[in-house]
Amino acid sequence: MSVTVPDPVKRVVHAGSRSYGRLTAPARMLPSFLICGGQRCGTTSMYRALAQHPAVLKAVLHKGVHYFDVSYRRGMRWYQGHFPLRATAARVSRRLAGVPVQTFESSPYYLYHPLAAARLAADLPGVKLLVLVRDPVERAYSQHAHELARGFESEADFGRALALEPARLRGQTQRLAADPAAYSFAHQHHAYRARGEYIRYLQRISAVVDRDRIHVVDSEDFFADPEPVYDAVLDFLGLPHLGYPPFERHNARPRSVDLDPGLRKELSAYYASFDDRLAEWLGRELAWRR
């Protein structure tokens, strides 16, 4: 029988765990790879698949620590406190006949936040980055449903939310880039159109992280035929092939109303040039344009 833990109790437990984690931070691992986006592109499904690998230990408490975007002021000791103890990794490694154990987290806002790439490149030299992308039109529509369901969006109509986006985001990227202590709710939760401009953010990341440490996954391929996509991810991360986890689709939010065809056409046209540049950057056809 499953037991539902009340949110206030969870908060107390998490606060205590974070305090203990901070105290023991020097004895803890740092991530060798991150899932850094994009939002609503299958990051949770990829996270859960990788978390089941025998040589991978996930972050403690949360899949996403959100250090390099909204919690950077807390410092690296706070961040390191979220990860498993090195002694735990050593025990797991011994059970695996010496296979190195890795840890990771997944914070999709890292891809979009203007300072996250430079921060993670400076603080985690050698880190590898997994980026998932999908049809940006579907991604935007899915994000709106997600923000609405979580109470972060008050405009129920997707078209009107898109129309509000320019005013909501005006100057926010520049403000975040100029002030490391700044935070923008709209930038994190209301960038429906902007977050699908994947190539802009990949180019920003690749300016500070070597291209060979960035692996981009088409989420359509991952959901349609997960095994070869998963194999390629393991090769990229240097993880041994030890069988497949059960592949499931997490956090999908089906909509009762289809996207308006006119709005779909308008968004598709908007993203065309971004998708062209992304395909050229990747050197392959995008799954949603096949």
Q: Domains in the chain and their CATH numbers? A: 31-289 (3.40.50.300)
* pLDDT at position 254: 64
Residues near 94 by beta carbon (within 8 Å), at least 6 away in sequence: none
Other CB atoms within a 10 A radius of the CB of residue 166 amount to 10
Asked if the peptide bond before residue 38 counts as cis, ω within 30 degrees of 0, the response is yes
Report which residue type is found at 96.
L
Q: pLDDT band for position 56 (50/70/90)?
A: very high
- pLDDT of 258: 87
Q: Residue 62 above 70 pLDDT?
A: yes
If you average pLDDT over every residue of the chain, what do you get? 92
Which candidate, 170, 195, 196, 197, places its Cα nearest to that of 184? 170
Would you tell me the crossing angle of helices 261-282 and 158-169 to the nearest 10 degrees? 50
* Angle made by CA atoms 141, 290, 129, in degrees to the nearest 5: 65
Mean per-residue pLDDT, 156-183: 98
Q: Which residue, among 192, 196, 184, 195, has the nearest Cα to 147 in the 3D structure?
A: 192
Torsion of CA 227, 228, 229, 230, to 10 degrees: 50
The helix or strand, by DSSP H or E, that contains position 17, with its residue range, turns out to be: helix 7-23
The pLDDT of 42-57, averaged and rounded, is 96
Supply the DSSP string of 161-211, one letter for each residue.
HHHHHHHHHTTHHHHHHH-TT---HHHHHS-TTGGG-HHHHHHHHHTTS-G
Predicted pLDDT of residue 28: 97
Q: Is the pLDDT of residue 16 over 60?
A: no
For 8-12, 128-132, 189-193, which range has the lowest pLDDT when averaged over its residues?
Answer: 8-12
The pair phi, psi for residue 4, each rounded to 5°, is -90, 120
Q: Between helices 198-206 and 116-123, what is the axis angle to 10°?
A: 30
pLDDT at 13 exceeding the cut of 50? no
106 contacts 94 by C-beta, under 8 angstroms: no
Which distant-in-sequence residues (6+ apart) come within 8 Å of 114 by Cβ?
Answer: 173, 176, 177, 204
The answer to whether 187 and 179 have CB atoms below 8 angstroms apart is no
R_g of the chain, CA atoms, integer Å: 19
pLDDT confidence tier of residue 60, bands split at 50, 70 and 90: confident
pLDDT 10s digits, 227-238: 999 999 999 999
pLDDT at 173: 98
Is 7 a residue whose pLDDT tops 50?
A: no
Model confidence at 9, pLDDT cuts 50, 70, 90, reads: very low
Closest CA to 84 of 71, 65, 97: 65
Predicted local confidence at residue 255, as pLDDT? 65
Residue 90 and residue 17: Cα distance in Å, rounded? 21
- Tell me the per-residue pLDDT of 107-124, one tens digit each, with 9 for 90 and over: 999 999 999 999 999 999
Amino acid at 166: P
Question: Is 90 exceeded by the pLDDT of residue 19?
Answer: no
* pLDDT tens per residue, range 242-286: 999 999 876 665 666 789 999 999 999 999 999 999 999 999 999
Residue 57 pLDDT level (bands cut at 50, 70, 90)? very high
| Mean pLDDT in residue range 178-183 | 97
Bridging pattern class, strands 33-35 and 102-106: parallel
